[in-house]
């Protein structure tokens, strides 16, 4: 049987930082009010040159370098995001092109803040079924583009960033041990972007009504989150045959410090057993768990052989968890440089576009545009 091991990880956040004091100049709020209710001190905000794909590519570059895996050896790329580049093409396809992952399939996954958990499980199952050997899973967001900066109930919460994992097959037991994925669509209205879909197609009216921004019932989402976080963590442990004492670290979705505290109480664990960085980045949705894992690994909170649980919740409503035995890069892998692959990928992409243009001239552009 093949096991899906996490052999590389990487993160990237925009340079611009927006503090609580900065927000107090924009809406009726203050630093103390935000810290008391969320635990957030600051968040990173994308500038004009940052996109969901560009952040994803940088995080992926770090993860591939860590795993010592060339992009050309990737079989699958999944990007979990709530703020994609476009409705289509997928952000994952753009990432695939920019990395030069010539033989990789690529698709986006939409499960809001639980998306990275779902995506990691999808990649794991593809490896365990021996359909693929390598996968790149990315959570990437530019939520600042879909936040109403006049709504203090939501604009204080969200930030931008990306995190990525490389998964590789191995006969050695370990890696992702179990997964839990759940959904309750009856609560779909509690956290949503109402405009832009088939129910409310984009129009001047939907823009005027602010339907393309995040809308959230904060109290209901808070109660939902505090119910499911501890239960989902326990379920993942049970499916993996692990006890609470076997777990070195819990990595929760970084939405709100009080929600993480509630999960700790529910699991009867001290906060020291949890990876927490919500104060630095705010809620980065699909990126929050991989970013937290990257920092935990860098700080020595995760060592090879450690068992960890990753748990999240989000719009849908969705929630999920994973039990993972931490591995790290395979010892036999040789160091690589990823950026030369990216430069070749850029050239390849340009040449393919030129070739399509030439084909159009030869075969006649515009004569019949039907597919």
Q: Which of 128, 123, 68, 64 is nearest to 99 (CA)?
A: 64
Strand 307-314 to 247-252 pairing: parallel
Known catalytic residues are: 113, 253, 283
Q: 143 near 284, Cβ under 8 Å?
A: yes
Provide the angle, in degrees to the nearest 10, between the axes of the packed helices 91-99 and 339-363.
110
Instruction: State the sign of the Cα–Cα–Cα–Cα dihedral 232, 233, 236, 237.
Output: negative
Residue 182: strand pairing partners: 319
Evaluate whether 307 touches 248 at the Cβ level (below 8 Å): yes
Contacts 24+ apart (CB under 8 A), 27-30: 27/149, 27/150, 27/151, 27/152, 27/155, 27/156, 28/152, 29/152, 29/156
Kind of pairing, strands 318-325 and 175-183?
antiparallel
């Amino acid at each position: 049987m093949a096991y899906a091991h996490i052999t590389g990880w990487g993160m990237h956040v925009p340079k611009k930082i927006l503090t609580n004091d900065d927000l107090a100049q924009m809406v009726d709020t203050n630093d103390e009010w935000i810290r008391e209710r969320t635990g957030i001190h600051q968040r990173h905000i994308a500038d004009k040159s940052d996109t969901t794909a560009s952040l994803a590519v940088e995080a992926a570059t770090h993860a591939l370098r860590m795993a010592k895996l060339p992009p050309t050896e990737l079989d699958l790329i999944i990007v979990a995001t709530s703020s994609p580049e476009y409705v289509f093409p997928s952000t994952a396809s753009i990432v695939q092109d920019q990395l030069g992952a010539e033989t990789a399939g690529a698709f986006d996954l939409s499960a809001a803040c639980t998306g990275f958990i779902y995506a990691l499980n999808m990649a794991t199952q593809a490896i365990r079924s021996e359909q693929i050997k390598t996968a790149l899973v990315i959570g990437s967001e530019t939520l600042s583009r879909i936040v109403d900066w006049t709504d203090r109930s939501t604009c204080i919460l969200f930030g931008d960033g990306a995190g990525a994992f490389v998964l590789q097959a191995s006969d050695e037991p370990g890696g992702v041990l179990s997964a839990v994925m759940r959904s309750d669509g009856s609560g779909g209205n509690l956290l949503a972007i109402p405009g832009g879909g088939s129910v409310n197609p984009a129009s001047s009216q939907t823009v005027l009504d602010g339907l393309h921004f995040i809308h959230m019932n904060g109290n209901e989402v808070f109660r939902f989150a505090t119910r499911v976080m501890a239960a989902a963590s326990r379920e993942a442990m049970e499916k993996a045959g692990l006890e609470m004492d076997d777990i070195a670290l819990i990595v929760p979705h970084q939405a709100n410090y009080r929600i993480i505290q509630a999960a700790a109480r529910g699991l009867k664990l001290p906060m020291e057993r949890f990876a927490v960085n919500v104060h630095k980045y705010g809620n980065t949705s699909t990126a929050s768990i991989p970013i937290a894992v990257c920092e935990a690994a860098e700080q020595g909170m995760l060592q090879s052989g450690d068992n960890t649980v990753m748990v999240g919740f989000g719009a849908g409503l969705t929630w999920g968890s994973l039990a993972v035995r931490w591995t790290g890069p395979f010892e036999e892998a040789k160091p690589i440089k990823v950026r030369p692959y990216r430069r070749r990928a850029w050239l390849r992409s340009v040449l393919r576009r030129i070739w399509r243009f030439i084909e159009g001239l030869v075969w006649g552009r515009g004569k019949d545009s039907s597919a």
